[in-house]
Amino acid sequence: MGYDSDVIHYQLGQTFANAELIRKSVKEHALQVRKNIYLKKNEKRRIIVKCTPTCPFHMRFSRSDTKSYFVLSSFNSAHKCCRNSKIRLFKTKLLAEKFVPILKHTPNATLKSLGTICKNQWGVILTRFKIYRAKVKALEMIQGAVEEQYALKVRKTTRRGG
């Protein structure tokens, strides 16, 4: 039962179209390796990704003035830290995005069952309140998509009838 996308691998010279893609891939990578990876620098021309202070893991993405894309210019994939059940990048919005496919099929899923999925799937232990906020946000995302679809359908039928 996989809710995640494919495993993310990095290599020197890899290019990214924009900073948002880098941030998304770093968040996914942090979940996949279950490490407390975070964005140390998140600037216009460079993004630096680190782990714990004693861990040698780091990534540096840079962009020059002449290029519109980011390049992975420095990378050390070795970790000397332990897995962590509290990942800094696992915010409510990301959690809600992960819950959307689950809640589409079972909208009445309990907080306990969602917490178990988080623990089994991504190795994170979350508070009930964080799971609750993410569930509400995910249901809003699902409901918003349904309402948009309905509004689009109503607009099309009124154009034809009028």
Contacts of 76 (CB under 8 A, 6+ apart): 56, 57, 58, 59
pLDDT tens digits along 109-153? 999 999 999 888 888 888 999 999 999 999 999 888 666 666 666
Contacts of 64 (CB under 8 A, 6+ apart): 45
For residue 141, is it within any domain?
yes
Query: pLDDT at residue 21 above 70?
Result: yes
Contacts 24+ apart (CB under 8 A), 127-132: 130/92, 130/95, 131/95
Are 38 and 53 in contact, with CB atoms under 8 Å apart?
Answer: no
pLDDT tens digits along 62-113? 997 788 899 999 998 888 887 766 777 778 998 999 999 999 999 899 999 9
Residues 100 and 53 in one domain: no
pLDDT tens digits along 42-59? 888 899 999 888 889 999
Domain final position from 46, 76, 106: 76
Domain assignment of residue 34, given as a range? 15-76
Residues 72 and 96 in one domain: no
